Amino acid sequence: MLPDKLKEECGVFGVFGHPEAARLVYLGLYALQHRGQEAAGICSSDGQTLYVERGTGYVADVFGEPRLDRLRGEAAIGHVRYSTAGDSSLNNAQPILISGGQGRLALCHNGNLTGVTELRSSLAAAGAVFHSTSDSELILHLISRSKETELERAVVDALQGVSGAYSLLIQKADCMIAVRDPLGFRPLCLGRLNHKSQAWVVASETCALDLINAEYIRDIEPGEMILLDRHGLRSIQFAPGDAPAFCSFEHIYFSRPDSRVFGRSVMLSRQALGRVLAKEAPADADVVVPIPDSGVPAGAGYAAASGLPIEFGLIRNHYVGRTFIEPKQSIRNFGVKVKLNPVRELLQNRRVVLVDDSIVRGTTSRKIVQMVRAAGAREVHMRISSPPIISPCYYGIDTPTRAELIAANHSVDEVRRYIDADSLAYLSHEGLMCALEDNNRKYCTSCFSGKYPSKIN
């Protein structure tokens, strides 16, 4: 992805009841690679034993034939991760595999628990031993400490003790559990794969169902727990889920445009964001240039609503390797040039509307504006298809500190001057609601408003 973007922390994918379970999870994770590129892991079960393989890098680099062959059995869960800088000295890889009061359990977690400092301390005081710094491990401790003997009850019991965002997959030798927190911050959907017998699939996004030809059944609901075992599927509503707080940023930026998330097409949401933005913030310009890849749908919406032509005036280089050596000498705007190159013929002497989904620190936007000017644009108008980000996310998105969020500390005009644009406009909160058709305020917009739907400390 481009530098200076918010980062999703994970994606999860599970298959229950298929002879190629681990290979399907591998494919599912590949389709969810945009949700985390730094590590990947899969845990499978053959009914008796859990097998786990994890590594750093892309899914397709971590897993080869020998590793997939070792992941035996008809059930498997997997995880892709964006590793927060954090503490390298304890191991945060997922799936986490442990043994405790419930026997062996593996867990994959998308989201972020809130208010864990106290919980961690009290567990430590009670003798708990942590092998990672992740909040995810806490859930396993709570499950293991539950007095309930049945796994499903122990999980429900454990979840009473935590708050925040969690879309979870839990695997035991003979069953799999999928859970979504009561506010449903992160997406989680259920699918079915018709093989000889029916297999169940659980995924962060529907695009991962598509790749393996699984049929989308429905979203797992906020506050719902799904139990998969040899008796089939059972659903338990462990908490009311009627006041959800769906992450609006999934529609703005994170999810793939070909996914349906929270019951809506991401592509259609992004086009609508662009259309509403065009209405709210028209520009006296010649051409709309989306910043690829994430700005393209909103750019198309903006162009359609404004009547301006869309031009692909910035070309993206998608070839990447494990590492990239920067030149020792300074090359102007190098960090952006490695990813984007302007098409001078489409920009020269034109008044350009750049459309992007968000501005985080502003550093990359500034370089792109400079690059577009250097390519000959007469004017550069920046349009952002979401409101200014003024507050960190505590629900599973890696945001910089408030001090680094340019819009948290500067007016729109100050941001405009910093990024050196002729004009700058963000989408309004109302525009966001309108584009997402969110009359019932089901969406979390805390990063734009600073108002959090749950206690965060």
Q: Write the secondary structure of 191-207 as one string of H (helix), E (strand) and C (coil).
A: EEEECCCEEEEEECCHH
> For its own copies, which is the closer residue by CB, 245 or 305?
305
Given the complex with its own copies, which of 49 and 235 has the nearer CB atom?
A: 49
Site for its own copies contains 296 (CB under 8 A): yes
Asked if 173 interacts with its own copies (CB under 8 A), we say no
Q: Applying CB under 8 A, which part among 162-170, 177-185, 315-323, 431-439 lies near its own copies?
A: 315-323
Instruction: Return the amino acid letter for 185.
Output: F
Residue 98 C-beta: closest distance to its own copies, Å: 5
Closer by beta carbon to its own copies, 137 or else 422: 137
Burial of 182 (0-12, 13-18, 19+ CB in 10 A): buried
Q: How far apart are CA 147 and CA 156, in angstroms?
A: 11
Q: Interface with its own copies includes 315 (CB under 8 A)?
A: yes
CA distance 44 to 16: 10
- Give me 217's structure tokens: 């059944």
Single residue of 187, 297, 392, 396 touching its own copies by CB under 8 A: 297
Token match 């992450």: residue?
A: 247
| Residue 126 binding its own copies, by CB under 8 A | yes
Residue 35 contacts its own copies per CB under 8 A: no
Question: Binding of its own copies at residue 307 (CB under 8 A)?
Answer: no
- Pull the structure tokens for residue 83: 């590793």
How far is the C-alpha of 284 from the C-alpha of 84, rounded, in Å?
41
| Tokens read off for 454 | 């749950």
317 binds its own copies (CB under 8 A): yes
**10 is a contact residue toward its own copies (CB under 8 A):** no
Active site residue 43: no
Q: Which residue is it, tokens 């509503």? A: 237
Q: Count the residues of the shown chain that bind its own copies, applying the rule CB under 8 A.
A: 95
337 binds its own copies (CB under 8 A): yes
CB of 415 to its own copies, least distance (A): 27
The residue count of the chain comes to 457
Backbone angles phi, psi at 303, to 5 degrees: -60, -45
312 binds its own copies (CB under 8 A): yes
Subset of 45-104 contacting its own copies (CB under 8 A): 49-52, 57-65, 68, 70, 87-91, 96-101, 104
- Burial, 328: exposed, middle or buried (Cβ in 10 Å; 0-12, 13-18, 19+)? exposed
β-strand pairing of 103-110 with 96-100: antiparallel
Binding to its own copies in span 193-222, by CB under 8 A: 195, 207, 210-213
Q: Strand 224-229 and strand 175-180: pairing?
A: antiparallel
Identity of the residue numbered 210: D
Instruction: Work out how close the CB of 213 gets to its own copies at its nearest, in angstroms, rounded to a whole number.
Output: 5
Minimum CB separation from its own copies for residue 331, in Å? 5
Residues 106-125 that bind its own copies (CB under 8 A): 124-125
**Nearest distance, CB of residue 274 and its own copies, angstroms:** 12
* Residue 327 lies near its own copies (rule: CB under 8 A): yes
| 306 near its own copies (CB under 8 A) | no
Q: Give the integer Cα–Cα distance in Å for 209 and 41.
A: 18
Instruction: Enumerate residues 372-391 that contact its own copies by CB under 8 A.
Output: none
Q: Any contact of residue 323 with its own copies (CB under 8 A)?
A: yes
Cβ 303 to its own copies, closest distance in Å?
Answer: 9
Instruction: Write out the two tokens for 79.
Output: 């995880």
Chain Cα centroid distance, residue 136:
16
Among 16, 30, 82, 200, binds its own copies (CB under 8 A): 30
455 touches its own copies (CB under 8 A): no
Dist. CA 187–CA 153, nearest whole Å: 23
Tell me how crowded residue 170 is: count the other CB atoms within 10 A of its CB.
Answer: 27
Under rule CB under 8 A, residue 305 binds its own copies: no
Q: Enumerate residues 248-277 that contact its own copies by CB under 8 A.
A: 256-258, 265, 267-268
Q: Which of 12, 169, 245, 346 binds its own copies (CB under 8 A)?
A: 346
Q: Which of residues 139-158 bind its own copies (CB under 8 A)?
A: 140-141, 144-145
384 near 432, Cβ under 8 Å? Answer: no
183 or 372: whose CB is closer to its own copies?
Answer: 372
All residues at 6 or more sequence positions from 160 whose CB lies less than 8 Å from its CB, including other chains: none
User: Where in the sequence numbering do the catalytic residues fall?
Assistant: 10
